[in-house]
Amino acid sequence: MVYQLIANATMVAHFAFLVFVVAGGFLAWRWPWMIWPHLILAGWGFSTIVFGFDCPLTHIEDWARREAGEQGLSRGFIDTYLTGVVYPERYTTLLQVLAGTAVLVSWAGFVIRRRRPDRDRVTAPS
């Protein structure tokens, strides 16, 4: 039961991680301090795709599922839960490019918003 809970919590955390990697830069438009965790986690996500680094969340979920008596993850997280389930495998490269584009757009928007004068700030009358 405990291992099943660990596995499911890790799966949810992994989905949250993926959402943050793709969309977290847009949060930095509102909360500028968010750019730092986003840069780090987007860099990690990029490295798992480009350099084939293993994700520790995948290992934790696989371990917990095996300890719970279930079949572990025979493939990576995305291959298990998204590819062929949420979208057809033939769209993998397209979706990676779209995700990367969303990240770059969020970063560009962050830089543009930080460089322009803050016209949205309301100042108190003197």
**What is the C-alpha separation between 64 and 71, in angstroms, rounded?**
10
* pLDDT digits 0-9 by tens, 18-57: 999 999 999 999 999 999 999 999 999 888 888 888 889 9
**What is the C-alpha separation between 99 and 18, in angstroms, rounded?**
10
* pLDDT digits 0-9 by tens, 93-108: 999 999 999 999 999 9
**What is the C-alpha separation between 71 and 4, in angstroms, rounded?**
12
